[in-house]
């Protein structure tokens, strides 16, 4: 189907090129102003050429990186954003041409208004610039599990102005792109592997031996051994407090899987709670 649509675009481009070269001959007796027709034909030709170029660029990039055609990453999103900006700018230019206005005279006459608009829309412009940077950045990628300010979740998408996060409750959170530079950013996903960390505390009244706690957690982790990198599971004491001890469980998945991580975290914390909670102490 994609090949069919690309073929239609090529045919459309060929027709528009022929039409553009013979505008005066074809529309010499038309009641529609020639500049009006030229603007529509010119924009349509540019639109199809740009879209075909974008499609081919994405096709070869996905093929080289072995990315499925229904999947996206930072670069594909960045290319889409650039395409949208270019089309928007050119559409505005052709609109001026359609109205028989010269862009230079138009912008000169709107200098003061443009300055006022820039001040009012500075946050929007800042988000767009940041979105362009993020599109080709390796600091944060689609699929990463991150914390931006007070929001935590998996990066699902980048737009020109927003980052879409999906939190542990499957709620979509939209964070302005500029938040990357104005708030704390923590990326819990490494570049090469998906290292996961589970934090929990145990009341010191329980006095459960470390080895017993390790065994309880190992029994839970054994259910997921196919998805976990062998030898990557590690339980360490993170901090000791007067009334409790903080632990940190780290493990590496063979591949990124947010649902699996959620399920594993739920089962580990459930196991820890059932075996070390004050409830358990009172029932003994």
243-254 pLDDT per residue, tens: 889 999 989 887
Q: Name the CA radius of gyration of the chain, rounded.
A: 28
Domain harbouring 176, CATH code: 2.30.30.60
Same domain, 183 and 199: no
* Domain housing 152: 139-187
Q: Kindly state whether residue 252 falls inside one of the protein's structural domains.
A: yes
Report if residue 125 sits inside a domain: no
Residues 20 and 103 in one domain: yes
User: Average pLDDT of each block of 10 consecutive residues along the chain (284 residues)?
Assistant: 76 84 76 77 88 88 81 83 87 80 67 68 78 78 84 84 85 88 78 72 85 90 88 88 89 78 88 72 36
- pLDDT of 114: 66
Domain final residue pick, 109, 131, 163:
109
pLDDT value for 174: 92
Write down the pLDDT at residue 18: 84
Instruction: Give the end of a domain, one of 87, 109, 131.
Output: 109
Q: Classify burial at 264, counting beta carbons within 10 Å of its beta carbon; exposed 0-12, middle 13-18, buried 19 or more.
A: buried
Does residue 120 lie in a domain region? no
C-alpha dist (Å) from residue 51 to 18, 63, 112, 165, 167:
19, 18, 35, 28, 34
**pLDDT of amino acid 62:** 85
pLDDT at position 3, please? 73
Do the domain assignments include residue 42?
Answer: yes
Query: What residues pair up with 250 in beta bridges, in sequence order?
Result: 197, 234
Residue 193 is predicted with a pLDDT of 54
Do 38 and 91 have their domain in common? Answer: yes
Total structural domains within the chain: 3
**132 lies in a domain?**
no
């Amino acid at each position: 189907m994609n090949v069919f649509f690309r073929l239609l675009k090529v045919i459309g481009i060929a027709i528009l090129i022929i039409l553009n070269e013979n505008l005066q001959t074809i529309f010499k007796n038309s009641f529609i102003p020639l500049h009006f027709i030229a603007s529509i034909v010119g924009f349509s030709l540019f639109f199809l050429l740009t879209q075909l170029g974008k499609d081919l660029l994405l096709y070869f990039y996905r093929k080289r990186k072995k990315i499925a055609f229904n999947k996206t990453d930072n670069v594909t999103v960045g290319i889409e954003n650039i395409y949208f900006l270019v089309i928007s700018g050119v559409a505005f230019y052709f609109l001026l041409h359609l109205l028989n206005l010269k862009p230079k005279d138009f912008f000169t006459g709107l200098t003061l208004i443009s300055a006022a608009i820039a001040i009012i829309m500075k946050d929007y412009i800042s988000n767009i610039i940041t979105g362009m940077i993020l599109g080709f950045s390796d600091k944060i990628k689609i699929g990463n599990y991150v914390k931006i300010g007070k929001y935590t979740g998996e990066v699902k998408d980048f737009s020109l102005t927003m980052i879409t996060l999906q939190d542990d409750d499957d709620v979509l959170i939209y964070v302005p792109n500029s938040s990357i530079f104005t708030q704390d950013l923590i990326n819990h996903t490494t570049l090469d592997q998906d290292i996961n960390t589970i934090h929990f505390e145990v009341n010191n009244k329980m006095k459960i031996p470390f080895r017993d706690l390790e065994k309880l957690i190992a029994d839970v982790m054994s259910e997921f051994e196919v998805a976990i990198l062998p030898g990557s599971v590690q339980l360490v004491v993170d901090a000791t407090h007067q009334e409790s001890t903080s632990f940190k469980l780290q493990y590496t998945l063979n591949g990124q899987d947010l649902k699996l991580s959620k399920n594993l975290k739920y089962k580990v914390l459930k196991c820890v709670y059932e075996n070390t909670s004050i409830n358990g102490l009172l029932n003994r």
